[in-house]
Structure formats: C-alpha cells, structure tokens
Amino acid sequence: MVRVTVEPMTSMERVLTTLRHKEPDTVPVFLFLGAHGAKELGLPARDYYRNADNVAEAQLKLLERYGHDCLDPTSWVAIEYEAMGGEPIFHDDAPPMSAAPILRSAEDVRRFKPPRVADTACLQEAVRGIALLKREVEDRVPIVGLVASPFSLPVMQLGYPAYLELMSRHETSLGYLLEANTEFCVEWANAQFAAGATVVAYVDPVSSATCSSSAEFGQFGLPTAKRAISRFQGPAVYHLASGLCSPILDSLAATGAVAVAIGHDDDLGRLKRAAAGRVGLLGNLNSIAACRWSSAEAEAAVKDAIAQGGPGGGFILSDGCGCIPCQVSADTLRAIVDAAHRWGRYPLDWVQPHATETSDPHL
C-alpha cells in the first residue's frame, strides 16, 4: 500500500482557499500583533513604530513564535494623523493615538489638502516595512496593510463632537473633506499594495451600527466606501473595529470587499449563514476578555468561533477589534493558535450542522 503524504498549505494558500469559500487544510488564524512588536524587541513604542527595520524584525519573530497566518506591519491608524501634521501620543502598551484635532474650523476643512504619500516620511517608512517583509516571505504569508476610511478619519482630524456636528449640519465642507480623504485613502492603500501588501484593511468604525444610524451610513459611509474600495489595486477587508455589523452586512458585501471583520457582540453563526458564498468573515474573538483568559478559556472561545464560522470555508479566525492588546499573554496567544490547529482542521466532522434560515430581519 502506498502512503500519500499531503503537504500542509502555506498561509497564503490557506487564506486564498478560504476566501474562495472552499475548505483549506485548517481554519486560518490572523493574530494582529502590531502592539506586541515593541514588547517583542524590548524597545520603546516610539522607536518601534517609527523604524521599518524594527517593525519587520518584530513581525517575523512573532510569526515564528506563534505560527499564525499573517503579518501586521501597519497596525496604527494614527500614522495618518501624523502624516497630516498631528503629533501622536505613544504608549508602551498600546498603539499610538491621535491627540488634539488638526482641523479646528470649517475654514480649516475647506483649506485642507491631504499629504502626498510619496512626500511623507512616516508613510514612506511604513511602506518600507511592508517591502522588507515581502522580500522575506514572498508569497507564503499574507501581509495586511491598513487605511482609515475617509468617513472615519475625521474623528482624528476634527475630534468626534465637532465631526458629529458637521455631519448633522450637512455642510458642503463635509463633502469636500470626504472627497479629499478619499483621494488620500486610495493613494495610501495603493502605495501599500505596490510595496507588497496582500490585502488592506479598510478601517471604518464610524460606519458601524454602533456609531451611525442607517441613514448616516447610507448617505455618507456606504457611498464613500464604494468609491474608495473600487479604486484599490488589490483586495480590501472591511473592518468595523468591533462595531456592530449585522444590520449592514448586505451593504458591506456590496462594497467589493473580499471579507468583513466582525466584533464579539455580533452573532457569528447568523452572519456566516448570511454571508456564505458572498463575502468572507474575520472574527470574532473578544480581545479585551482575552487579557484574562486561561488557556482553557481561550480554547473554548476558539472552538465556539470555529463551530459557528468554519464550516464551508469563508472564515478566518481573528479578534474582533483588529489589534490584540499587549495585556494578552504569550500563553494565551499560543493557546489560541494551538486550539485553532486542533479544532480547525478540515473536515470539521465534530461540528453540528446549523439551520440555513435566520429570522433576523437585518440578515
């Protein structure tokens, strides 16, 4: 009798197979570990995030340590705030954050011109980090880029209260800002694709049902997303940064994104049945609760997520926020990946079949 040895898929093969809504060898696991990079190298956060060599070194070490399926070199949206003239606040246990608004009046908005990516040092350093990783992993491991959506970026540019006021008044300056931000978003995404990013996360928490009404999303968030994503020179993942997805899943699937990242408050099973064959899903581990998980609790959470999202492919196990806190221990991260490899091996014979219908009116 001849034994046939089946080689395991590469991470890239695994991810591409599942996004074709087919079953790979195992459920892919994305650990977004940007915030863990400085800790991995024992560096101050400022020295880590602003140096592409450090970012690439840390990401490769984390990949080797945990054996997950992606690299996460552009994990802080405040880089766009810095590119526009702001001074980020650096924390040693969290990603950098934006500080004071950079646009303080309607006149500032009307005068605003987005930076050119090619002329902006911090963005070019991030692009260099992607290129360094691409040279190392070639096409074996997906590299995930990141852009703030034009509809969510004004939270950093204006501050949330001023942005909500501008939105409520429907001023023409809002339309101008969204258009300017769209141009920047497209240029920034495509620079990352050109450097070697496999996919770009389109981070848009303001469009989520947690933050916007259906009318606001329909008037501003959705058309902005369609305009931006249609011009990307590579695939996008629509990321709501843990905001509620269920009421707008159909609209998100229509933007051209290959997958939607969902938070732990969404019902993964219902969303999987609604999304099956149309758009992939990433999610939906609770990365805040994971700060306190035992290894057994991590395994239970992973097993439940795989049972809900794994059958039939189209699912990548990940956290729902898009940035795993530094307070999540190395033991917990290992337990997540180990459990995914244990319970996520196809065929998922242990999973009980789910009903194909749902009574949720939003789905």
Query: What is the average pLDDT across 168-179?
Result: 86
Position 172 scores a pLDDT of 84
Q: What is the mean pLDDT of residues 134-155?
A: 98
Whether pLDDT at 359 is above 80 = no
Split at pLDDT 50, 70, 90, the class of 363 is very low
Average pLDDT over residues 122-144: 98
Q: What is the pLDDT of residues 100-125, one digit of tens each?
A: 999 998 889 989 999 999 999 999 99
State the alpha helices, DSSP H only, in the chain. Answer: 11-19, 37-41, 45-49, 52-66, 78-83, 106-111, 121-137, 154-158, 160-169, 172-195, 214-216, 222-229, 249-253, 268-275, 295-309, 330-343
Higher pLDDT among residues 125 and 6, named by residue: 125
Residue 349: in which H helix or E strand, if any?
none
CB atoms within 10 A of CB 120: 21
pLDDT digits (tens, 9 = 90+) for 58-97: 999 999 999 999 999 988 999 999 999 999 999 888 899 9
What is the structure's pLDDT at 77?
Answer: 92
At 329 the pLDDT is 97
Q: What tens digit of pLDDT does each residue of 220-231 get?
A: 999 999 999 999
Average pLDDT over residues 129-151: 98
pLDDT at residue number 360: 42
pLDDT at 358: 41
**Does residue 362 have a pLDDT over 80?**
no
Q: Give tens-digit pLDDT for 25-51.
A: 999 999 999 999 999 999 999 999 999
Q: What's residue 361's pLDDT?
A: 38
Measured from the Cβ of residue 214, the count of other Cβ atoms closer than 10 Å reads 14
pLDDT digits (tens, 9 = 90+) for 284-306: 999 999 999 999 999 999 999 99
Domain range annotation of the chain: 11-23+31-280
pLDDT at position 354:
60
CA–CA gap between residue 129 and residue 106 (Å, rounded): 36
Does the structure show a pLDDT above 70 at 6?
no
**Distance (Å, whole) CA 357 – CA 295:** 34
What are the pLDDT digits (tens) for 324-351?
A: 999 999 999 999 999 999 999 999 999 9
pLDDT of residue 243: 95
Q: Which CATH number fits domain 11-23+31-280: 3.30.70.1170, 3.40.50.12140, 3.20.20.210, 3.20.20.70?
A: 3.20.20.210
pLDDT at 22: 97
Give the pLDDT confidence score for residue 170 in this predicted structure: 66
Preceding amide of 142 cis, omega within 30: no
